[in-house]
């Protein structure tokens, strides 16, 4: 059973539920800001999802978009910056589990990547080189014309260029 693979299926279900202010700020005891400023542009919290394995919550994730949408299929194509903020709530998610989950997702969203996209995927996977513990965060932010910034434990690990890479990563998170 894929425990991390095809991450955030709940987020796709929750996208249509444009979260109210109260629940947008607090999801099972974890705070999510209603807005996030990305390169001078305000993105609003569009939805919150939970990633589970068996009965355990692994992380809660908020999706910030420049404009709200109820259609998960439209999320990757939206113009402007986007952010997924994951708050880990499980005791520890190992580096191997993060990489395994992302590989499974990219196998679906980019089954035959060209050499350039494959290199970008490998650079992204290399960011997940240590465990992430409860209370720590993973943030994936796309800025047009700059790329996808990967921040783990509040430290920038890499910026991966290219809208196509970002679209494949985001599609993995919201469509599965």
Domain range enclosing 45: 9-174
Q: Is residue 4 part of a domain?
A: no
Q: What is the pLDDT of residue 24?
A: 52
What's the CATH code of the domain at 74?
3.50.70.10
The C-alpha atoms of residue 22 and residue 31 are separated, in whole angstroms, by 10
Reduced to 3 states, what is the DSSP secondary structure of residue 112? coil
Q: What is the pTM of this model?
A: 0.84
Q: What is the pLDDT of residue 175?
A: 62
Q: What is the pLDDT of residue 6?
A: 41
The C-alpha atoms of residue 112 and residue 49 are separated, in whole angstroms, by 29
The count of structural domains within the chain is 1
Residue ranges of the chain with pLDDT lower than 50?
1-23, 176
Q: Is residue 1 part of a domain?
A: no
Reduced to 3 states, what is the DSSP secondary structure of residue 56? strand
CA max distance for the chain? 45
Q: What is the pLDDT of residue 72?
A: 87
With residue 46 as reference, give the H or E element that holds it: strand 41-53
Q: Is residue 155 part of a domain?
A: yes
Which residues is 159 bridged to in the sheet?
Answer: 149
The C-alpha atoms of residue 160 and residue 136 are separated, in whole angstroms, by 22
107-116 exposure pattern, b = at least 16 Cβ within 10 A, e = fewer: eebbeebeee
pLDDT tens-place string over residues 116-136:
999 999 999 999 999 999 999
């Amino acid at each position: 059973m894929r425990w991390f693979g095809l991450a955030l299926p709940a987020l796709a279900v929750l996208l249509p539920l444009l979260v109210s202010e109260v629940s947008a700020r607090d999801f099972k005891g974890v705070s999510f800001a209603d807005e996030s400023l990305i390169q001078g542009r305000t993105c609003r919290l569009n939805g919150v999802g939970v990633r589970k394995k068996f009965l355990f919550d692994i992380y809660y994730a908020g999706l910030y978009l420049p404009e709200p949408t109820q259609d998960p299929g439209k999320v990757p194509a939206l113009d402007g910056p986007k952010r997924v903020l994951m708050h880990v709530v499980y005791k520890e998610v190992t580096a191997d589990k993060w990489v395994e989950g992302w590989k499974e997702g990219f196998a679906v969203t980019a089954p035959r990547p060209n050499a350039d996209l494959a290199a970008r995927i490998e650079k992204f996977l290399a960011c997940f080189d240590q465990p992430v513990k409860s209370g720590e965060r993973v943030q994936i932010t796309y800025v047009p014309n700059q790329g996808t910034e990967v921040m783990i434990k509040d430290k920038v690990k890499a910026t991966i260029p290219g809208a196509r890479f970002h679209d494949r990563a985001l599609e993995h998170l919201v469509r599965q």
